[in-house]
Amino acid sequence: MSANATVLSDASTVSIMDRLLFRFESLLNLLGGIAIFLLVLLATVNVLGRWIFSLPIDGYVDWVEQAMAFIAFLGIAYTKRLGGHIRMDILVSHLRGRLLWLTELLSALLMLFVTLILIWGSTLHFWRAYDIGDSSLDIHLPTWPAKLVVPFALGVLALRLILQVWAYARAALRGDNEPVAVPLIESAADVANKEAEAVLGDLRGDER
C-alpha cells in the first residue's frame, strides 16, 4: 500500500490528539516542501551562474548535503499518518476485526521500538557533531543542525506511533470495524477509484 488511506475522526480523546498532532506534522511537511523548493532554486541559480557568468555557487554541494536531512525526514510522520509509506499488506488485507487490529498493533509497537533506537543513535550522532564542531568540507558549514533534524523528526514519528498504538489497542478492545486516528486499509479498487476521482476533479477544475 502506498496511496493515502482514509483516516476517520470523532470526538474521542485519541482522535482529538490525532488531529492536533496532524496539524504539526502538516507544518513540518510544508517546511520540507519549502526545503525542496529552495534546493531547486539553488540548483537553478548554480547552473545559470556557471553557464552565463562562469560563477557557480560556492559550497553548492555542502548546501545540498545539509538540505537532504530536511527533505528526507520532515515529512516522515505526516506520511505515516496518511498511510503513505509503501508496505506489504497481502496477508493483512485479508484479516478482519480484532485480529486485524491486534496485528496492526503489533506492527506499530515494533516500529515504535525501532524508532526509539534510531532516536537514541541519531541523538548521539548529533551531539558528537556539535561537541567536536563538525563541518562540511568545502565552506565549513556546521553539520549539527542537519543532524539534529533526524532525532527531532523521528521523535514526532514516535508520537504518531504512540497514538496509533493507542488507537489500535482501543479498536481491538472495542471490536470496532473502522477505528479512528489510523489509516484504514483499502483495496486496490478503492485506491484506484480515489485516484480516478482526484484526476477527474482536477480536469473539471481546469475546464472551469
Distance CA 97, CA 100 (A): 5
Do 15 and 180 touch, CB atoms closer than 8 A? yes
The DSSP letter of residue 92 is: G
Q: Which of 37-46, 77-86, 101-110, 198-207 has the lowest mean pLDDT?
A: 198-207
Phi, psi of 93 (to 5 degrees): -65, -15
Do 159 and 21 touch, CB atoms closer than 8 A? yes
- Indicate whether 21 pLDDT > 70: yes
Amino acid at 170: R
Which cell is 189 given? Answer: 479498487
**What does the pLDDT read at residue 208?**
58
Residues linked to residue 183 through DSSP beta bridges, in sequence order: 7
Of residues 73 and 6, more confidence is placed in 73
Using a 10 angstrom Cβ sphere, with 0-12 exposed, 13-18 middle and 19 or more buried, the burial of residue 12 is middle
State the pLDDT confidence band at 187, using cuts at 50, 70 and 90.
Answer: low
Q: Express each pLDDT in 93-115 by its tens digit.
A: 788 889 999 999 999 999 999 99
Average pLDDT over residues 29-38: 97
The DSSP letter of residue 59 is: T
